[in-house]
Structure formats: C-alpha cells, structure tokens
C-alpha cells in the first residue's frame, strides 16, 4: 500500500505570505520519496493553496512513477480532506480550482483519505518549513546579488 503524508503553510502571514508544502510517500511503511516546494508569495497565497499544492505534487509523483496500488492519503487539513472526499461543500475560489483537479488526478486510483492530527504529520510539516526556508534563502541571495551589482 502507498501512503502519502502532505502539509502546507503560509508564512509569515496567512493570507499573502509565502505558501510552501511538503509531502512524503511510503510503500508498505518504507519511504519511497519526499518532496517540497514553494508555490509563491503575496496575494492569492494561503495555507489552503499550499495544502492543495502539496497533495497535488504527491499525486503527480505517484502517477509519474506508475504506482497503482491502494493509496492512503493523510493530512492535517480538515478542509482539504473533507472537500476532496465530498463530505464538505466546495465554496471558495481556491477550492473550486483545486478540488476538481485533484479528483481528476485520483481517477482510477483506489484512494482512502484520512484526516490526522497535526502531531502525526510532523515530517510533512518539517518539509513545508524547509521549503519556506529555502525559498527565503534563495530570495535573500538574489537581493544581495542585486545590491552588489548596483
């Protein structure tokens, strides 16, 4: 069985901070892959955008690697888990964009969605923080280069 853990954040403020995510993919309890990234910064960036992007990135990796086993998706975002599963209505523009795309990605997969408490999602949370830190480090490097050229 494939198990996905995903998380996202928007920091230092939500909304309009830096949206970043992390995810881990296990097969039968053994780590196969981990990934992280920054979505962007400023208007339109929220923790929900980061959460959806993290799940989407994990699903892309699963599809790209031809993993067709049963997939357990675990995340600490009640919004994402409950909207993807259909238990909650999709009302916001953000959710209206991501929910259909994620459902399409899951088409043909045997997926079980599970909400987990934040305490059980520490590795994915650490990766989302790492994505934020790398984004900020890269941004400060670019600023320093611009100052030196000036």
**Could you tell me the two tokens for 8?**
């996202």
* Residue 46 near residue 94, CB atoms below 8 Å: yes
Question: What are the pLDDT digits (tens) for 23-67?
Answer: 999 999 999 999 999 999 999 999 999 999 999 999 999 999 999
Domain that holds residue 45: 2-145
On whether residue 150 sits in a domain, the answer given is no
Domain with 7 in it: what CATH number?
A: 3.30.420.10
Percent with pLDDT over 90 in the chain? 89
Q: Tell me phi and psi for residue 15, to 5 degrees.
A: -85, 180
- Classified as helix, coil or strand, 89 is coil
* Residue 61 near residue 22, CB atoms below 8 Å: no
**Could you tell me the two tokens for 143?**
């600023």
Mean pLDDT of 114-125: 98
**Could you tell me the two tokens for 111?**
């997926």
Alpha carbons 44 and 1: distance in angstroms, whole number: 35
On whether residue 56 sits in a domain, the answer given is yes
On whether residue 130 sits in a domain, the answer given is yes
pLDDT at 144: 56
pLDDT at 145: 54
Q: How distant, in Å, are the alpha carbons of 43, 59, 81, 109, 144 from that of 64? A: 31, 8, 22, 13, 37
On whether residue 110 sits in a domain, the answer given is yes
- Tell me whether residue 145 is exposed, middle or buried, using C-beta atoms within 10 angstroms of its C-beta: 0 to 12, 13 to 18, 19 or more: exposed
Domain count, the chain: 1
Length of the chain, in residues: 150
Which residue in the block uniquely carries the two structure tokens 């997939």?
71
pLDDT at 149 over 60: no
Mean pLDDT of 105-134: 97
Average pLDDT, the chain: 93
């Amino acid at each position: 069985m494939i198990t996905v853990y995903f998380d996202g954040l928007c920091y230092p403020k939500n909304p309009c901070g830096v949206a970043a995510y992390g995810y881990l993919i296990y097969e039968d309890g053994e780590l196969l892959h981990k990934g992280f990234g920054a979505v962007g910064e400023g208007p339109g960036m929220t923790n929900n955008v980061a959460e959806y992007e993290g799940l989407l990135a994990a699903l892309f990796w699963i599809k790209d690697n031809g993993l067709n086993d049963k997939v357990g998706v675990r995340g600490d975002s009640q919004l994402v888990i409950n909207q993807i599963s259909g238990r909650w209505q999709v009302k916001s523009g953000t959710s209206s964009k991501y929910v259909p795309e994620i459902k399409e990605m899951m088409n043909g997969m045997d997926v079980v969605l599970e909400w987990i408490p934040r305490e059980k999602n520490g590795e994915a949370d650490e990766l989302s923080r790492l994505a934020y830190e790398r984004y900020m480090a890269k941004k400060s490097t670019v600023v320093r280069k611009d100052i030196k050229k000036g």
